[in-house]
Amino acid sequence: MTAPSPADSVAREVLGAVNSRDVLMRVSLLCERFLGARVTTRLFHRVSVGSVHGVRLSDGREVVVKLHRAFAPFRYLKALNELQAHVADAGFPAPKPLAPPARLPNGSATFEASLARGDPPDPDRPEHLALMASGLAWLVELCEPFASRAEFEPWLARRRDGLWPIPHDARFDFVATAQGAAWIDTLARRARALLDADPGRRVIGHHDWRREHLRVRQGRLCAVYDWDSVGRFAEPVLVAGAARTFTVDWSRVGQRQYPTLEQMHEFLDAYETARGRPFSRDERAHFRAALVYGAAYTARCEHSDDRTNFGRGPLAPPPDFVPTESMRAFLQEHGETLLAGED
């Protein structure tokens, strides 16, 4: 018999689990305690910032349990639970929370209904691009009653050195890999100065709004995942984040991930149409600056991966070329012109 695989790092930290069998047992205990039924089947397991477990319960329900490390603010998870229920009740394709968040000794857990339906949108199809953009505009509108809530400030994006937040994955080391990245930092600093000068209208939306987290069926958006990516942002910053990554799906290996600049502007146009009014001149300037800053952050992650073999190896010299379809290539080609106010 094959031994169970080691527990993922999040489950190990939050549950104290040592292997995959142990994780499933402890997730089942959580479900018994907070949902009143034990786990009978594991449907899927994914790890990113959190540890996500799709399971079938003994009462037939299919649910998703997400484990959050201790640094995820519990007051944020409670507010998110409230917001998620609000938008689901309004007809938005959000998985409905099944219980309040559970505070655990080394983290927390959330419980929601499974929305395993539909297919990922095809961003190259104009009607799917329009669905993605209008879905984000719809979510922003539904979240308006929560827009003043401080709990939704983006806790993962807080900057620690005036320029960069703590990277979203521990494998990225911006300090150790700074050599060769000064040009990226320079563009990011210029973009950040524009963004910090006037944050603009603050809205609540999903800041990882991309193909991998969305599903469509019969011409409609039918499921949205990854709800701990919801936060409060200046609207041009939120839309720029989506425009810069809406084509991304890391489950598709060997395919182009990032959109072209033309596609980014197509997303903005579709969002403005759904919103019912165009961005102002200042909002468009903030949109462009946010494109540059977001691209620079991703470029720094790429640079770190190149120098550390994705966090697995010793520090290597800076690369002497930039891959064609990388965010570094996008930044080299468009960073200066975007900051200069040119599309």
Instruction: Indicate if the pLDDT at residue 1 is higher than 60.
Output: no
pLDDT greater at residue 254 or residue 10: 10
Instruction: Indicate if the pLDDT at residue 59 is higher than 80.
Output: yes
Query: What is the percentage of the chain residues whose pLDDT exceeds 90?
Result: 80
Give the CATH architecture of domain 126-339: Alpha-Beta Complex (3.90)
Average pLDDT for 210-237: 96
pLDDT greater at residue 48 or residue 147: 147
Whether the model pTM is above 0.85: yes
Reported as a single tens digit per residue, the pLDDT across 252-288 is 887 889 999 999 999 999 999 999 999 999 999 999 9
Average pLDDT for 132-155: 95
Burial of 68 (0-12, 13-18, 19+ CB in 10 A): buried
Average pLDDT for 166-184: 92
Instruction: Indicate if the pLDDT at residue 225 is higher than 80.
Output: yes
CB 153 within 8 A of CB 77: no
Q: What is the CATH number of domain 9-113?
A: 3.30.200.20
pLDDT greater at residue 171 or residue 297: 297
Dihedral pair phi/psi, residue 330, rounded to 5°: -60, -45
Over the chain, what is the mean pLDDT?
A: 93
Confidence of residue 145 (pLDDT cuts 50, 70, 90): very high
Q: What is the pLDDT of residue 40?
A: 98
Average pLDDT for 209-224: 96
Query: What is the percentage of the chain residues whose pLDDT exceeds 70?
Result: 96
pLDDT greater at residue 197 or residue 108: 108
Per-domain residue ranges for the chain?
A: 9-113, 126-339
- Residue environment code for 158-168, b if the CB has 16+ CB neighbours within 10 A, otherwise e: eeeeeebeeee
Helix (H) or strand (E) holding 307: helix 281-308
Nearest to 212 by CA among 313, 104, 122: 122
Residue owning tokens 């039918």: 222
Q: What is the pLDDT of residue 300?
A: 97
Q: Where are the alpha helices (DSSP H) in 41-181?
A: 74-89, 126-142
pLDDT greater at residue 276 or residue 156: 276
Task: Give every CB contact of residue 81 below 8 A, 6+ residues apart in sequence.
Answer: 97, 100, 101, 110
Q: Going by DSSP bridges, is the β-strand pair 39-47/51-57 parallel, antiparallel, or unpaired?
A: antiparallel
